Amino acid sequence: MPIICQFFGIVIRMYYDDHNPPHFHAYYGDEQAIFSIETLELMEGSLSRRAKVMVVEWALEHRHELLADWALAVKHMPLNKIEPLE
């Protein structure tokens, strides 16, 4: 599963052939969560409050890039890296 971004110990990944709705996976230590790209809602899993806030802030800034990567993943094409949260 390709890593599309890493920041502050958080790893953002996206799977090929994953189910709808469009989403991404966030990992922080032993925690993992799935977020909707369109609504930025937590769909599954859990992250610490601090990590969740950072992931949502990052995703809000990069929603269009996340949707573009989702479209690439559906076509089994290489995903683009996305700039980290600073």
Q: What is the pTM of this model?
A: 0.94
Total structural domains in the chain? 1
What digits encode the pLDDT tens for the residues 1-57? 799 999 999 999 999 989 999 999 999 999 999 999 999 999 999 999 999 999 999
Q: Looking at the domain assignment, is residue 81 inside a domain?
A: no
Q: Looking at the domain assignment, is residue 16 inside a domain?
A: yes
* Residue 42: Cβ-neighbour burial (10 angstroms; 0-12, 13-18, 19+): middle
Residue 34 · residue 16 · CB < 8 Å? no
Q: Looking at the domain assignment, is residue 80 inside a domain?
A: no
What digits encode the pLDDT tens for the residues 50-85? 999 999 999 999 999 999 999 999 999 999 999 999
Domain enclosing residue 47, as ranges:
3-74
